[in-house]
Structure 1
Amino acid sequence: MNYFIVTGSSKGLGEATAKLLLKENHHLICIARSENKDLELAAKESGAEFTFLQEDLSKHERVTGIVQYLLSKIEKDDQAEGVYLINNAGMVDPIKPAGKADETSMTKAVHLNLLTPMLMTNEFIRLTEDWNCKKVIVNISSGAANRPIHGWNTYCTTKAGLDMFTKSVGLEQSQAPHPTTILSFSPGVMDTAMQGVIRSSDKENFLNVDTFKNYYDEGQLRNPATVAEKMLELILSRRVENGRIYDIKEFI
């Protein structure tokens, strides 16, 4: 059996990924701030193994303990074929130019978007170092990691940092006896709640807000289910290059 740990699973790409995994009867572990009744119902209907943890992962001091708890349960299954960690939880706020954002929201974003996946990856690799099964970590990236966007200085910085972390860990793991494969996956613009947050921004804080409104009005936002399907095909069925940054455009 394959085990999947998906963060930020109550909505957007995380929810879409979780629903697809339930259909394939994997053991799914979801971590999110809020419950998702649709996921719970889908798990009951499919008979799949399903675990839900209600946690705010921006509280980084809890992250290591969460990983330890989850992996201690998986370790007892000597029939585990693969263990997958999908670091999907993230936030685009604060959408404000430097000098206008508040300290609390910037700190929360850095913790959730960058520090939390770093800590989860670090503990995952430490605890599974000797596990002789397939081990994969997926960090959800963004096109914002590669270019500056007005008002998105915190988001751009955290995603760029996450990509570099992925590359560095991939280099390290390529030389490990029982390596974990780590990659970043950039999903592009999707029809999610995060896009709603973006479209509601003030133009003085985000000069490109009209562009994102047009994406929505013109039907240019991708369905999260389509993106989730391509991401899962990549990590389950294809040869993955350790430390590589993948983009949805390669698969659509």
Structure 2
Amino acid sequence: MTKHLYILTGASRGMGLAIAEALLQAGNSLLCISRHTNDALAAAAQKADVPLWQWTQDLADGQSASERLRMWLGTQDVTQLSGATLINNAGVIPPICPLSQSQPADLALALRVGLEAPLQLCAAFLGATEAWPVARRVLNISSGLGRSAMASQAGYCAAKAGMDHFTRCMAMDEALKANGAKVCSLAPGVIDTDMQVQLRGAAGDAFPDQAKFAQLKEKGLLSSPQQAAHQVLSYLARAEFGHNPIGDVRD
């Protein structure tokens, strides 16, 4: 029986972990790339009899991650696959403060993990699978902050805006190919994750929108990681996925 291969970054916690758990279904195989492995995920995969690989990889070094992925994909037996999908979910939010107070190392980390690594992984995935005669998809997890600026969020906004734009370029490239991949940069909504904790806990004088994020939690307006994962995977499964390279689960 052929399987659909999923490759997922940032799978050890939050929405990434919820996506990984939801993908542990018959007919799938899953490669997770994260800073840490997750024992519970491994146990769940064994129980579900779903092939699972977990790579411990710091995506601040996207070059190493992408080279490893390209080589690994080259060893796969495509006759045993029904399709392949890359989901770039990993990201880092730097300390919340005006750009004038940001540290170069924090900004570099946010851009390496949130922009550079996804760009490199997309290149590796698309290049290694270009001749595969199966459907291929790329889902980049973006953010509304890639499309609307926010004070004290320059690093994160820049990474997500860059992700949106390189996805547009990637879609144009793939549209010229006979079996080009379908690609989309998707905003997943507002989710109750560690990032939200960081935003709510920011100092009000350094982050003018802090009160707004606190109210989202107080009013119960945040999606759970499981709800967000369901919405993201439902969007990925749409027949029209990739018709628009920029999307939002709320559309």
Please state whether the residue corresponding to 1:6 is helix, strand or coil. Answer: strand
Unaligned runs of 5+ in 2: none
Q: What is the identity, as a one-letter code, of the residue corresponding to 1:128? A: T
Q: Tell whether the 8 Å contact from 1:87 to 1:139 is kept in structure 2 after alignment.
A: yes
2:80 matched residue in structure 1? 79
Q: State the TM-score, normalizing by the size of structure 1.
A: 0.94
User: Does residue 1:56 correspond to 2:58, yes or no?
Assistant: yes
Moved more, 209-218 or 113-122: 209-218
2:159 matched residue in structure 1? 158
Cα drift, residue 245 of structure 1? 1.1
Identity of aligned residues (%): 28
Q: Tell whether the 8 Å contact from 2:188 to 2:231 is kept in structure 1 after alignment.
A: no
Per-residue CA deviations over 1:131-159 (Å, capped at 9, x if unaligned) read 11011011001000111111001111111
Moved more, 240-249 or 208-217: 240-249
2:42 matched residue in structure 1? 40
Matches within 5 A, 1:171-186: 171-186=172-187
Aligned residues: 249
Q: What is the identity, as a one-letter code, of the residue corresponding to 1:51? A: W
Q: What is the identity, as a one-letter code, of the residue corresponding to 2:90? A: A
Q: Tell whether the 8 Å contact from 1:132 to 1:178 is kept in structure 2 after alignment.
A: yes
Moved over 4 A (4+): none
2:24 matched residue in structure 1? 22
Q: Tell whether the 8 Å contact from 2:185 to 2:245 is kept in structure 1 after alignment.
A: yes
Aligned residues: CA RMSD:
1.4
Moved more, 145-154 or 35-44: 35-44
Cα drift, residue 22 of structure 1? 0.5
Q: Tell whether the 8 Å contact from 1:191 to 1:221 is kept in structure 2 after alignment.
A: yes
1:109 matched residue in structure 2? 110
CA spacing shift, 1:229–1:174, aligned 2, 3 Å: same
Cα drift, residue 174 of structure 1? 0.6
In structure 2, distance between residues paired with 1:161 and 1:192: 22
Please state whether the residue corresponding to 2:80 is helix, strand or coil. Answer: coil
Q: What is the identity, as a one-letter code, of the residue corresponding to 1:19? A: E
In structure 1, distance between residues paired with 2:127 and 2:160: 23
